[in-house]
Amino acid sequence: MTSAQGRMRPTHPRAHRVDDIATAFGLRLVAPDAHPDTHVTGLAVGSGDVAPGDLFVALRGLKRHGAEFTAQAIEAGAVAVLTDDDGAALVDADVPVLVATDPRVLVGDVAAWMYGYPGHDLVTVAVTGTNGKTTTAYFVDAAQRARFDSTAILGTVELRIGDEAIESPRTTVEAPVLHAILGLARERGAGAATIEASSHALALHRTGGLELDVVGFTNLQRDHLDFHGDMDTYLADKARLFAAGQAERGVVVVDDEWGAKMVGLAQIPVETIATRVGVPAAADADWAVLDADIGLDGVGSTFSLRTPDGSVVTAASPLPGLVNVSNAALAIVLAHRSGVPLDIAIAAIGAAHEIPGRMERVIERGGGWPLCLVDYAHTPDALELALQAVRPITPGRLVIVFGSDGDRDQGKRPIMGQVAARLADVLVVTDENPRSEDPATIRAAILDGVRGERPDLRDVEEVSPRADAIRRGLALASEADTVIVTGKGHEPTQEIAGVFHRYNDRDVYLAARAERAGQ
């Protein structure tokens, strides 16, 4: 059965002859005379996304070649295969095989061509950066919804067109899914699409075949070095979004050296925005946040934004902390440069309160309950910004429940512990997504960092599993306190020993409250 994301495609796709695809992209067609009338109506990377009539794109993976799954793809309805020479040798089926030197580089162009370049008919905005992609994308979508009757958003949390949404399998879907969803969005009358672009996706050409109207860069912080190797390579992969042919114009946050480097790497016209008050780049930036009043209504912030013509406008972030002033300011400029009038963008973003797993308020303070938040912060810098954001709205103690991922950058674990021990009052160290690692080993690395700040581990507890840790954090808190659970945000599963278990931090909070209320 075709996956949910695989089914999000135009309902009346145009059929393309296999030999026409070969001609259009200069591909070698194995046994071209054997199947002269084969027509393709879609394409898919991954046999689980295949629908009847598809071209199955068999790519080389880290451990196995996608061509090994050709039989499953054909059983699901694939009528042809696109692969490389090694993959072609693995295909043991009576179907046409298109051969490319590097099909991964090519697949986005093929998908865009097959679906009639749907991105051309939508206003498209994409956001990249270590932290803030999801929040900024939702802010931009809020502004687009003030302009259009229907919009699409494709990112970490969901794949949504109008009011229909499914869980997203990753931050940025494979190119065939991306173009298919844009095609369906066009078919349904959407006016704009906002996309999160991860560094992995950019390195793996998942945004191929799409020329975006406006792209944005939030920041670069330590993450994913297991994949990129070092920070400069990490930035270079982010910079692929600012390549000629990938986007028409860009907006870059220049609060630190990485933003300045991104401006230097960009191959397209870019505007700069300084979002932290007093940073050296503010004087020369095209846009700049001049001041911020943190804690508007006990939650969000107001700020002044200087525009390129020197005028100053007042804007607001509905979420707490300076980090969300940055996200809101960038989103305002991105939306405006994509065609949303500035005043409309400011008003819509200022009212965009509900972003899943991003400073999400699950339990409000009052009636004996602490304020309970869920946030995706999973890097040292993001954790620091999250805790700094919550402190001003916390009359009592700040309680954090957190962990760190398995099979990922191990060096950040003790740093996470140091940050939490320095900025929170009470720590509950637990598991995030252990994956194939021993959860206790990950927790031990975090606690090593905690000891650097608190040798006696005062007000520090180690609790597993994660649901019990959240219950413990809630039990430790009084009404004046704030409990923030970080690391997983919106995620609907927890990966332990290779198994994905249904799990969500918000749901555990609510269940814990119900249990206590029922006592």
Domain boundaries, the chain: 5-114, 118-350, 360-517
Q: Which residue's structure tokens are 């869980």?
A: 167
Q: Whose CA is closest to 461, among 420, 507, 414? A: 420
Residue 80 has pLDDT above 80, yes or no: yes
pLDDT band at 388 (very low <50, low <70, confident <90, very high): very high
Strand order, beta sheet including 287-296: 164-167, 158-161, 151-154, 192-196, 123-128, 212-217, 247-253, 270-274, 287-296, 300-306, 312-317
Q: What is the mean pLDDT of the chain?
A: 93
The 10s digit of each residue's pLDDT in 298-335 is 678 899 999 999 999 999 999 988 889 999 999 999 99
The answer to whether the bond into 52 is cis (omega within 30° of 0) is no
Strand partners, 50: none
What is the CATH class of 5-114?
Answer: alpha beta
pLDDT of amino acid 143: 98
Surface-to-core class of residue 297, CB atoms within 10 Å of its CB (0-12 exposed, 13-18 middle, 19+ buried): exposed
pLDDT of amino acid 296: 45
Query: Residues of the chain with pLDDT > 90: what percent?
Result: 83
The answer to whether the beta carbons of residues 96 and 18 sit under 8 Å apart is: yes
pLDDT of amino acid 226: 60
Q: Name the fold adopted by 360-517.
A: Protein-Tyrosine Phosphatase; Chain A (3.90.190)
Strand partners, 492: none
Query: Residues of the chain with pLDDT > 70: what percent?
Result: 97
The answer to whether the beta carbons of residues 172 and 158 sit under 8 Å apart is: no
pLDDT of amino acid 47: 87
Once rounded to an integer, what is the mean pLDDT over residues 23-42? Answer: 86
Q: How many CB atoms lie within 10 A of CB 205?
A: 19
pLDDT of amino acid 295: 62
Q: What does each C-alpha distance from 205 to 3, 105, 200, 216, 272 come to in angstroms?
A: 22, 6, 9, 18, 25
Once rounded to an integer, what is the mean pLDDT over residues 76-100? Answer: 95
Q: Name the fold adopted by 118-350.
A: UDP-N-acetylmuramoyl-L-alanine:D-glutamate ligase (3.40.1190)
CATH topology match: 5-114 vs 360-517: no
Q: What does each C-alpha distance from 445 to 196, 280, 413 come to in angstroms?
A: 31, 36, 6
The residue with greater pLDDT, 322 or 187, is 187
Residue 475 has pLDDT above 90, yes or no: yes
Residue 48 has pLDDT above 50, yes or no: yes
